[in-house]
């Protein structure tokens, strides 16, 4: 599975990952499964590999890859809350001083 756009890994659907791994043949077949190339919070570029599927047969590998494309278990986007600062409070707060927050 390849990142369609750059950004950060915002979410990973573990149930979908497990379903894809089972489709590839894990845990019954040795060597079958998924290699996660990017984890939650990692920065990724467009076209970068997010996960790789391994299977004993080409048919199982193809089925698992198609399922991965359908389920999209890894979400990539802008950083959550990146632009949420409404207003910056100027000045320095010193412990022990009164702090008044105006609404």
Pairing mode, strands 7-12 and 43-44: antiparallel
Regarding predicted confidence, which is higher, 77 or 89? Answer: 77
The token pair that represents 12 in the structure block: 């990973």
Q: Are 42 and 9 in contact (CB under 8 A)?
A: yes
Question: Which domains does the chain possess?
Answer: 7-76 (3.90.1170.30)
Question: Is the pTM here over 0.85, yes or no?
Answer: no
Task: Render pLDDT for 16-34 as a digit per residue (tens, 0 to 9).
Answer: 999 999 999 999 999 999 9
- Determine the pLDDT at residue 29: 93
Task: Render pLDDT for 32-84 as a digit per residue (tens, 0 to 9).
Answer: 999 999 999 899 999 999 999 999 999 999 999 999 999 999 999 886 655 55
């Amino acid at each position: 599975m390849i990142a369609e756009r750059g950004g950060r890994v915002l979410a990973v659907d573990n149930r979908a990952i497990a379903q894809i791994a089972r489709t590839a043949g894990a845990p019954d077949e040795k060597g079958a499964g998924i290699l996660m190339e990017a984890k939650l919070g990692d920065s990724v570029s467009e076209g970068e590999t997010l996960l790789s599927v391994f299977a004993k047969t080409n048919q199982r590998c193809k089925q698992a890859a198609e399922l991965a494309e359908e389920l999209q278990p890894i979400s990539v986007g802008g950083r959550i809350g990146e632009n949420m600062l409404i207003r910056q409070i100027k000045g320095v707060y010193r412990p022990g001083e009164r702090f008044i927050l105006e609404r």
